[in-house]
Every structure is written in C-alpha cells, then in structure tokens.
C-alpha cells in the first residue's frame, strides 16, 4: 500500500500529469482563519525547492493557511503559476450528500474542471488533514496526515475517480 508522505518526500513524487494533495504547514492558532507561522512558511518554501519540475497550477482551500502554503511552495519552486482558491478543498461536498462516494466524485469533477480550464499538467492542491485523508481513502494510501504531508495521484486516476466513483 502506498503511504501519505512527509514534506521531505512528497515533493520528489511531483511529476507532469499528477495532482499532489498537500496538508497546510504549521499554523499560528485555531480556527479556519489561522495563517502559517514563520516555521510553517519556511517549511513550505523548503518543500517547494525539492520539487523537480515546475508546477503549472496551485489550487487552495479558502483558508489563509492553505493559500499561504501554496504561495510558499510556489516561491520555493520558483513558479509563477496561478493559485485558484476553491471551496471544495475545504469541504469536499460531504454536507450535500449522504454518501462518501458521490461526494468524492463531485470533488474530483470540480478539480478536473479547474485543471482543464487552466490547461495544467502539474498541480499542487493545498488543503486540510481530513481532505487529505479522504483522498487517501479513495486511492488506497495508508497513514496519518501530518503538517505538510502529501500524496501524489496521476491526473488520469483523478479523472477516472470523477467518472466512476
């Protein structure tokens, strides 16, 4: 089984044709509006430096800490890619559905739409621990999500999940 990777490892799995889901870095308080600490920023920049390819697109939850995580990874990657803020990365529709599968299918359809709209091939999606755990459950990843942990999924697999979940 594939595992959720720490910040020192997931950047090495980023390739063209993938979406990497990353939990935000260390935050400076509680609540949805908390932002990153200086350490959280530095860790995200360092993770971005480890990525061996330029990122085409960042998609972030509307939470300040996930947007800042995307900005810092982008800085470390020397990328000028756009950051698209998407509500589904904060709550992947589970409140609208009674079942996990249709909620996740809707979530992946939303991501595919944003990716296609932007013509992106290498994508980083910055999000929260529970969303990372949901994605991990769909694709058979094992382990606990920690700060700046992540998983990389082939874009074709995201497309398939959007259609067949």
In 7-63, which residue ranges form alpha helices assigned H by DSSP? 38-50
Backbone phi, psi, residue 134, to 5°:
-65, -45
Q: Are 54 and 77 in contact (CB under 8 A)?
A: yes
Q: Domain map of the chain by residue range?
A: 2-164
Q: Are 66 and 89 in contact (CB under 8 A)?
A: yes
pLDDT of residue 163: 92
pLDDT of residue 3: 93
Average pLDDT along the chain, 165 residues, taken 10 residues at a time: 91 97 96 95 98 97 97 97 93 69 91 97 96 94 94 97 90
End-to-end CA gap in the chain = 20
pLDDT of residue 1: 59
* Gap between the Cα atoms of 76 and 97, Å rounded: 37
* Gap between the Cα atoms of 68 and 76, Å rounded: 12
pLDDT of residue 101: 87
Q: CATH assignment of 2-164?
A: 3.40.50.1240
> How many other CB atoms are there within 10 angstroms of residue 142's CB atom?
10
pTM for the model stands at: 0.95
Tell me: the pLDDT tens digits for 124-147?
Answer: 999 999 999 999 999 999 988 999
Q: Are 26 and 147 in contact (CB under 8 A)?
A: yes
* Gap between the Cα atoms of 152 and 19, Å rounded: 6
Structure tokens at 137: 């459950």
Q: Are 152 and 15 in contact (CB under 8 A)?
A: yes
Which DSSP category does 34 fall into? -
In the chain, which residue ranges form alpha helices assigned H by DSSP? 38-50, 64-76, 100-117, 129-139, 155-164
* Gap between the Cα atoms of 149 and 145, Å rounded: 6
């Amino acid at each position: 089984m594939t595992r959720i990777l720490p910040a020192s490892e997931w950047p090495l799995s980023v390739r063209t044709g993938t979406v990497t889901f990353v939990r935000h870095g260390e935050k400076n308080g509680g609540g949805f509006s908390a932002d990153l600490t200086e350490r959280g920023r530095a860790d995200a920049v360092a993770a971005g430096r480890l990525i061996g390819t330029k990122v085409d697109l960042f998609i972030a939850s509307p939470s300040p800490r996930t947007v800042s995580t995307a900005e810092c990874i982008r800085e470390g990657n020397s990328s000028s890619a756009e950051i698209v803020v998407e509500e589904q990365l904060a709550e992947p529709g589970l409140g609208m559905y009674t079942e996990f599968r249709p909620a996740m299918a809707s979530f992946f359809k939303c991501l595919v739409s944003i990716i296609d709209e932007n013509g992106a091939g290498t994508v980083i999606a910055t999000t929260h621990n529970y969303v990372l755990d949901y994605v991990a459950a769909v694709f058979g990843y094992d382990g606990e999500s920690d700060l700046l942990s992540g998983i990389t999924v082939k874009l074709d697999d995201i497309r398939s999940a959007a259609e067949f979940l």
